[in-house]
Amino acid sequence: MAGENAEWWRGCVIYQIYPRSFQDTTGNGSGDLKGITSRLAHVASLGVDAVWLSPFFKSPMADMGYDVSDYRDVDPMFGMLEDFDALVAEAHRLDLKVIIDQVISHSSDRHEWFVESRASRDNAKADWYVWADAKPDGNPPNNWLSLFGGPAWEWDATRRQYYMHNFLAAQPDLNFHTPEVQDALLDTVRFWLERGVDGFRLDTVNYYVHDRWLRDNPPLASSVAGTNVATTTYAFQEHLFDKTRPENLDFLKRFRALLDEYPDRAAVGEVGDEERSLQTLAAYTSEGDKLQMCYTFDLLGPQFSAAHVRGCVEAFENAVVDGWVCWAFSNHDVTRHVSRWMRPGENPDTVAKFAIALLSCLRGSICLYQGEELGLEEAELAYEDLRDPLGIRFWPGVKGRDGCRTPMVWEAAAENGGFSTARPWLPVPQAHRARAVDVQNGQEQSVLAAYRSMLSLRKRHPALVNSSIRFLDAEGDVLAFVRERDDERLLCVFNFAGEPADWPLPEELGGIEPIAIAVDASGVLEERALALPALGCFVGRTG
C-alpha cells in the first residue's frame, strides 16, 4: 500500500555511513550507533534525504560485518536494539529516511543456520546452503572462483562435501533454490520494517541465485587473449552460472511484495555484473514489481572524462526503459574519488567541488559516502595497519579497502580527530585533520560549503531531481546536457580537462541566465559561447 510520499526515493540524495568509522562514544576505538545518532544533525545539515547504514548486525567481523551471524540483532560492538530504535527516531525527527544494508546472499559460518546445515546431510537445514560433492579426484565440483581469491568452494570435513562461498570461506552462500531460505530471509526483512526502517540497500543483489546444475563458467575472451589486467583471478571468467541467474527475478518480486505491505518503503540494489551490469539493472528495476533502483560500478572506477560519463548515462538511458539508477562516485569498497581522479598538480578541493556539482546535476538518485563532503583523499596505510582481508591477502598488488574506511574527522585539534578517545581501529591520517568538520564549518569556500550549496541547488530545482536528460555535442573533454521538467529547462556544462575550453552555445538554447554554483572554477558566458576554466562548471536557465 503506497503512502503520500511513495516515490521519495526518486531523485533522492543518500548519505552512506560506515558505522565502525563514524563516531565512537564508548572509548573502544570503534564507532557505534549512539555515535551515529549524535552526528545526524551534521548529516541533515548537508541537505540529504536519507542515510544508508552499512552492516551493524551481529557478526564475527571476518569481513567487517558483511558476514552476519544474526540478522535480527545488533552486534555489541555497535550497541543494542534500543540504540538502533533511538537512531531511527532521531533520523525521522530530522526528516531523514533510514536505509539499512541487507546482506542476504550469504551469511557468516557462525550463523546458527549454517552450524545446523553443516552438521549432517539430512538435518532440517541441510539444503539451506550450497553443498556439492567433490569430483572423483577430490577437486571442487566446478571452476567457480571467489572474489577474494581461489576457488569458490571450501571442503567441510563433517559433511565431507564442499560448500560455496563467493567471498570469504567464512561467508557461505545461502541456497535460494530452497523455498524455506527465502521465507526465512524475508522474515528478517519484515523484522526491520516493523522497527521503522524506510528502505534497504541490497548487498550483491545479483549473487543470490546460482545455477542449480553447477555448470562451469567459460573463460572471459579478454583473458584468453592475454589482455586482462585483473589483480585477482575472478576477472578471468565470464560469470554466467555463479550469479545473475533468471530465477533471481522471482525472489525480487517476493521482496518487493513484502515492501509494498508498508507505506513509502524502497530498496536499492548493488549490481556487480561486469559487462552485463546495465542489462541486469534494467531487469531488476523494470515494471514496478521488483527493486525501485539499483547502482552499478560504472562511475566508481578510475575513468574520469566527459566521454566516459556521457557513455555511462546514455547507456543507462537506452537500456533502462522504466527503471531508476542511483549514481555514486565513492563508497566503502573503492578508492575515494578525489584520489582516483586528481591529476598531478591539481587541487583536491577543486576536484571535490567539480565532482559534487556534476553528481548533483545527473539524472537519477545520488549517493554520497561519509567524508567526501570534506574532500577527503584516500588514506595511505602501512601493511601492519590493514584490517581488510582483501588487502591483507593481495598486498601489495591490491592494497584493499581500508584506505577509504578510516575514521571520520570531526575536530582538528581533538584526539583522533574527535572520532574516539582511544586508539581507532584504523589510523586517522594527519592530513585528514586539516579537513575536519569544525575547520570547514563556516568557511564559504570550503568543500563542505560546496556540498551544502549544490545539494540545496538540486532541491530548489525540480528539473535536477526528476526530469529528462539530453546530451549536447561538445568537442574535447566537455560534457554538456539539458535537464528539463515542465516549464524549467537547465543547461549543465562541465569541462573535465586540465586546461580551459570554449564551448559554442547551440542556437536551439535561446537566452541563458547563469545560476551561481559553489565551485572553484565557473564558466563565463560570452555572447554565444561559454568560456570554461580547467575543471570549470556552468549551470544556467535557458528558454
Q: Is residue 451 part of a domain?
A: yes
DSSP state of 407: P
- pLDDT for the residue 508: 87
Clarify whether residues 285 and 429 are in a common domain: yes
Judge contact between 61 and 67, C-beta under 8 A. Answer: yes
- CA distance linking residue 304 with residue 315, whole number of Å: 17
Write out the three cell numbers for 283.
531487469
Judge contact between 250 and 182, C-beta under 8 A. Answer: no
Considering the candidates 183, 261, 289, 475, report the single residue annotated as catalytic: 261
Clarify whether residues 350 and 406 are in a common domain: yes
Asked about 4 being catalytic, the answer comes back as no
The 3-state DSSP class for residue 345 equals: coil
Report, as an integer, the average pLDDT of 215-230. Answer: 70
Q: Give whole-number Cα distances, 54 to 33, 160, 198, 443, 448, in Å.
A: 11, 35, 14, 30, 22
- pLDDT for the residue 273: 86
Clarify whether residues 444 and 476 are in a common domain: no
- CA distance linking residue 359 with residue 248, whole number of Å: 30
Report, as an integer, the average pLDDT of 456-472. Answer: 96
Host domain of residue 345: 13-106+179-457
Clarify whether residues 295 and 407 are in a common domain: yes
Residue ending a domain, among 399, 424, 457, is: 457
Report, as an integer, the average pLDDT of 337-348. Answer: 97
Asked about 385 being catalytic, the answer comes back as no
Clarify whether residues 423 and 535 are in a common domain: no
Reported confidence tier of residue 506, pLDDT bands at 50, 70, 90: very high
Q: Which residue has the cell 542556437?
A: 507
Q: Is residue 220 part of a domain?
A: yes
Report, as an integer, the average pLDDT of 247-258. Answer: 98
Task: Count CB atoms within 10 A of the CB of residue 182.
Answer: 20
Q: Is residue 406 part of a domain?
A: yes
- pLDDT for the residue 429: 96
Report, as an integer, the average pLDDT of 126-142. Answer: 98
Residue ending a domain, among 405, 435, 457, is: 457
Q: Using the Cα atoms of residue 304, residue 147, residue 180 and residue 241 in order, give the sign of their dihedral.
A: positive
Clarify whether residues 344 and 404 are in a common domain: yes
Residue ending a domain, among 437, 457, 477, is: 457
- pLDDT for the residue 218: 96
DSSP β-ladder status, 501-504 and 529-532: antiparallel
- pLDDT for the residue 225: 41
Clarify whether residues 393 and 436 are in a common domain: yes
Clarify whether residues 84 and 214 are in a common domain: yes
Judge contact between 480 and 474, C-beta under 8 A. Answer: yes
Q: Give residues with Cβ within 8 angstroms of 244, minimum separation 6.
A: 206, 273, 276, 280
Using one digit for the tens of pLDDT, what is the confidence trace for 83-102? 999 999 999 999 999 999 99
pLDDT over 80 (residue 315): yes
Clarify whether residues 452 and 480 are in a common domain: no
Report, as an integer, the average pLDDT of 131-140. Answer: 98
Reported confidence tier of residue 282, pLDDT bands at 50, 70, 90: very high
pLDDT over 60 (residue 227): no
The percent of residues above 90 in pLDDT, for the chain, comes to 90
Clarify whether residues 374 and 252 are in a common domain: yes
Q: Give whole-number Cα distances, 23 to 49, 449, 537, in Å.
A: 20, 21, 34
Task: Give the distance between the most distant pair of CA atoms in the chain.
Answer: 79
- Looking at every residue in the chain, the average pLDDT score rounds to 95
pLDDT over 70 (residue 230): no
Reported confidence tier of residue 224, pLDDT bands at 50, 70, 90: low
Clarify whether residues 231 and 319 are in a common domain: yes
C-alpha gyration radius of the chain: 24
- pLDDT for the residue 232: 77
Considering the candidates 75, 198, 203, 242, report the single residue annotated as catalytic: 203
Using one digit for the tens of pLDDT, what is the confidence trace for 145-195? 999 999 999 999 999 999 999 999 999 999 999 999 999 999 999 999 999
Using one digit for the tens of pLDDT, what is the confidence trace for 4-50? 688 999 999 999 999 999 999 999 999 999 999 999 999 999 999 99
Domains: count for the chain: 2
Q: Is residue 138 part of a domain?
A: no
Q: Is residue 368 part of a domain?
A: yes
Q: What is the CATH number of the domain that holds 407?
A: 3.20.20.80
- CA distance linking residue 31 with residue 445, whole number of Å: 30
Q: What is the CATH number of the domain that holds 477?
A: 2.60.40.1180
Clarify whether residues 221 and 326 are in a common domain: yes
